[in-house]
């Protein structure tokens, strides 16, 4: 077995690509080598890992990745985003589904905790907002900060993992993943979404990121990725704010048709200045009033 194949795969799970298991030794080593770089990265904690998993596994995933017309995708077609996302685990082929399960496994969660320093990470078995993403020529996702609460699980969103599946992807095709500072004055990173490149980053109200420029790949090509989101029960007090959906932000000299209002942005910032005990008290009183009404 060559080194590339064995690095990300457990020897007990190597009968086929469908029996893939993440290798704890490989992941432990990866976390130890990159935890400092992760915490110090700008404009927010992140890491970019090339050749992340065995190519044989991702070749099978790419082979089974559905074309735009083959499944009932969730379609986003608005001023802020133009992309496709999978709706249900049942739409996802076996090799892809099993990889997603591995990236939600206890072994992989331990790796994320070691890498990021976030304790008590909880995966999302429903892949809410995640799973398979696909962007066709001309598509984009404007710069934004993600929704911060999972309503179903009642948990705080803490991490994103993006795994790109685009072979022979050229600079001129675009599709770069961009990371911006909290004041939206500067793009710190532009990352080409090449095959087997993984990006992991911490999510807060100010971790602004996206794929803002329309895709210029050849006709018939698409920008493919897997997306997984991770949560915790609570978060640091300085990161606490009211629950919100995706917060889109305009780049300098850019206008968005429905960018968040100044009032909404001020509310998000002011919530950060209120001690968590007062937010908890407000929520408790609101719930009490509702219960009396019913």
| Domain boundaries along the sequence of the chain | 3-260
Mean pLDDT across the stretch 235-242? Answer: 94
Query: Mutual orientation of helices 94-103 and 106-116 as an angle, nearest 10°?
Result: 50
More confident residue, 79 or 18: 79
Structurally, at CATH architecture level, domain 3-260 sits in: Sandwich (2.60)
Whose structure tokens read 């329309």? 214
List the end-to-end C-alpha distance of the chain, in Å, as a whole number: 65
Give yes or no for residue 32 having a pLDDT over 50.
Answer: yes
Query: What's the pLDDT at 286?
Result: 47
Residue 112 CA neighbour count, 13 Å, CB half? 29
Q: Helix, strand, coil proportions of the chain in percent (round to 5)?
A: 35, 25, 40
Percentage above 90 pLDDT, the chain: 78
Query: What's the pLDDT at 242?
Result: 94
Task: Give the whole-angstrom CA distance, residue 135 versus residue 149.
Answer: 25
**Of 13-17, 208-212, 275-279, the least confident:** 13-17
As a whole number, the mean pLDDT across the chain is: 87
Task: Give the whole-angstrom CA distance, residue 58 versus residue 60.
Answer: 5
> Which neighbouring-strand residues pair with 163?
198, 226
Task: Give the whole-angstrom CA distance, residue 151 versus residue 124.
Answer: 12
Backbone phi and psi for residue 23, each to the nearest 5 degrees, phi listed first: -95, 115
Give yes or no for residue 291 having a pLDDT over 50.
Answer: no
Give yes or no for residue 273 having a pLDDT over 90.
Answer: no
Mean pLDDT across the stretch 197-214? Answer: 97
Could you tell me the sign of the dihedral formed by the alpha carbons of 53, 59, 63, 67, in that order? positive
Report yes or no on whether pTM surpasses 0.85: no
Query: What's the pLDDT at 20?
Result: 75
**What stretch of H or E contains 199?**
strand 198-202
140: tokens are: 């984009």
Query: What's the pLDDT at 254?
Result: 87
């Amino acid at each position: 077995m060559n080194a590339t194949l064995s690095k990300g795969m457990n020897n007990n799970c190597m009968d086929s690509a469908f029996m893939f298991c993440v290798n704890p030794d490989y992941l432990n080593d990866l976390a130890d080598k990159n935890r400092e770089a992760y915490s110090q990265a700008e404009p927010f904690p992140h890491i970019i890992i090339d050749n992340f998993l065995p190519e044989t596994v991702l070749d099978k995933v790419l082979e089974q990745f559905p074309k735009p017309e083959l499944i009932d995708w969730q379609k986003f077609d608005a001023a802020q985003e133009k992309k496709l996302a999978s709706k249900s685990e049942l739409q996802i082929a076996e090799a892809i589904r099993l990889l997603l399960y591995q990236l939600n496994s206890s072994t992989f969660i331990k790796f994320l905790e070691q890498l990021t320093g976030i304790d008590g990470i909880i995966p999302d078995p429903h892949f809410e907002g995640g799973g398979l993403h696909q962007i066709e020529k001309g598509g984009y996702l404007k710069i934004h900060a993600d929704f911060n609460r999972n309503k179903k699980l009642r948990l705080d969103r803490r991490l994103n993992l993006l795994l790109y599946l685009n072979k022979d992807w050229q600079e001129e095709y675009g599709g770069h993943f961009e990371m911006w500072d909290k004041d939206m004055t500067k793009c710190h990173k532009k990352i080409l979404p090449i095959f087997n490149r993984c990006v992991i980053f911490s999510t807060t109200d100010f971790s602004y990121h996206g794929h803002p420029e329309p895709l210029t790949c050849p006709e018939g090509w698409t920008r493919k990725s897997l997306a997984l989101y991770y949560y915790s029960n609570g978060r640091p007090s300085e990161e606490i704010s009211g629950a919100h959906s995706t917060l889109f932000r305009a780049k300098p000299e850019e206008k968005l048709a429905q960018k968040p209002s100044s009032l909404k942005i001020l509310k998000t910032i002011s919530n950060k200045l209120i001690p968590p005990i007062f937010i908890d008290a407000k929520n408790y009183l609101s719930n009490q009033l509702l219960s009396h009404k019913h």
